[in-house]
Structure formats: C-alpha cells, structure tokens
Amino acid sequence: MDTGTNTAKLTPEPTATDADQRAAPRFTLLIRAAKLVSAQGEFVCVIRDVSETGISVRLFHALPACATYALHMPAGAVYEVNRVWQRDNEAGFTFDETVEVARLVHESAEYPKRGLRLGLCFPVTIHTLSGCFDAVVENVSQQGARLSCDTLLAIDQNVRIAGPGPGGQIREVRAKVRWRRDRQYGVVFDDTFTLGEFARLAALLQAPALLES
C-alpha cells in the first residue's frame, strides 16, 4: 500500500474556503484503518491525512454514489462527512462540523491495534469433527466473528468456517470458539484477513459492482 505523505486538496479549484482548509493544522496518519458508513453499507478505508475541516483516505475499491457518509473510528468516535472528490483509490471529505484534530489523532495513537468490526450478516458452513452445520455470521473483523448456530459448540473447540471469499470464491477459515451465549458464538480466526481482503469482502457482500468500477 502506498503510504506517501502527500496531502490532497479537498476541492479541485482554489477558493477562500480552500485557503482556510490548507491553513488548518494537518497531520498525516499512515495505515490507520477506519470505516465509511453510507446508506449502501459499511466500507473499509485508510486515513491518509486530516485537518479541522476535512480528511483524505485511501480506498480498496470504488465508493457508492452517496454524498454523505459517517466516518467510524475503531475506538467508537463517529464523524459526519461529505464526499468532495474521488479518483482511483483515493477520496476527500469535508467534516460537517469542525473537529478536534488532536482528539482524533490521540485516539489513533491510543488504540493502534483495535480492529474494525463490520455489521455484515451472511450464511456460512461450519465444519467440525462430527459434521457440517449451517450458521450465520452477524458481524466480522479481520481477526474473528460473532455467529449464530443451532448446533452446540464447545469453548476452545477448533472449527473450519466456509464462506464467501474476497474474490467471490468460497474460502475456508480455521477458527477457535472463544465464547458462547445461548446460540451465539464468538470465534477467533487462525487465518486472518489482510486489510485489503477484508475491505474487498465487505464490498463483495454489500455492493459487488464497486469491485468492477
């Protein structure tokens, strides 16, 4: 992934507003994953730089044709943003309201390893030594998932989960059951997803046409 530190203007032509934006304090945040939530779903991005007035991100696919998004940080902060431009695998947004850059940067430094969790719901097949069972993933991260299954699974049980892969093919992931609540289970993957794979899987499940743009 390109981690260059060049910043991008938030609008194509210079205006007084642009000058104000460029004058605002700007920080570069390399490889800081976040998610953009729109009416069409939740999509992974990487924050490139941020100021009090706007932000630019790296993408793994095209974005839906929505003007407004909510930028969700891994630690829980949410910022309403408006898309201003997109080219190739980059996009720029302005914030609805002026943000505290130091607070956003501090969260990125304080929780550098907190992963993204997407509220994606899709069917999978669980393989165990005693057979194969249907299950439904209710949310997923690069490292694990919460799923529901009518079959009783044991804590620390090793399973194989077969479901859609980032390229559209069936992918089988080895995992271990970490917790159980009624028929809901939390599993940790032995075979984790890269950020790019995770981003493309999210697009595939919600808006596959974005991968063709």
Count how many residues are written for the chain.
213
CATH number of the domain encompassing residue 160: 2.40.10.220
- Residue 89 domain-assigned (yes or no): yes
Distance CA 72, CA 118 (A): 10
- Residue 8 domain-assigned (yes or no): no
- Residue 191 domain-assigned (yes or no): yes
Instruction: List, in sequence order, every residue forming a beta bridge with 159; answer none if it has no partner.
Output: 175
CA 18 to centroid of chain Cα atoms: 28
pTM of the model: 0.80
Distance CA 188, CA 174 (A): 9
Tens-place pLDDT, residues 56-72: 999 999 999 899 999 99
The domain of 206 spans 118-211
Token pair listed for 49: 């730089």
Q: Which one-letter amino acid corresponds to residue 96? A: D
Tens-place pLDDT, residues 139-162: 999 999 999 999 999 999 999 999
Cα dihedral 131/188/122/61 (nearest 10): -140
Are 93 and 58 found together in one domain? yes
* Number of domains observed in the structure of the chain: 2
Label residue 129 by pLDDT band (50, 70, 90): very high
Domain final residue pick, 111, 145, 180:
111
Are 100 and 137 found together in one domain? no
CB 185 within 8 A of CB 147: yes
Q: Classify the C-alpha dihedral 100-104-105-106 as positive or negative.
A: positive
CB 71 within 8 A of CB 36: yes
- Residue 11 domain-assigned (yes or no): no
